[in-house]
């Protein structure tokens, strides 16, 4: 999870797009990212309920 956080922060920082964004635009982006993270979390919980084990959780 920390890797994804680092990659996301780097991508947003390197693009320079946030530097010129207003507070309202930054808030809108944060809310959109929260919705996406929630949707991913719900999907993963549903898959886990069906016996799905993601590759990163499987033992070699």
For the entire predicted model, the pTM comes to 0.65
pLDDT in tens, 2-60: 787 888 888 888 877 788 889 999 999 999 999 999 999 999 888 888 888 777 666 65
Domain ranges of the chain: 21-60
Nearest-5° Cα angle at 37, 32 to 2: 115
Q: What contacts 26, CB < 8 A, 6 or more positions away?
A: 18
């Amino acid at each position: 999870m920390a890797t994804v956080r680092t990659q996301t922060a780097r991508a947003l920082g390197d693009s320079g797009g946030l530097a010129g964004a207003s507070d309202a635009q930054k808030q809108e982006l944060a809310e959109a990212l929260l919705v996406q993270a929630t949707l991913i979390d719900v999907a993963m919980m549903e898959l886990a309920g069906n016996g799905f084990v993601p590759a990163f959780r499987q033992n070699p």
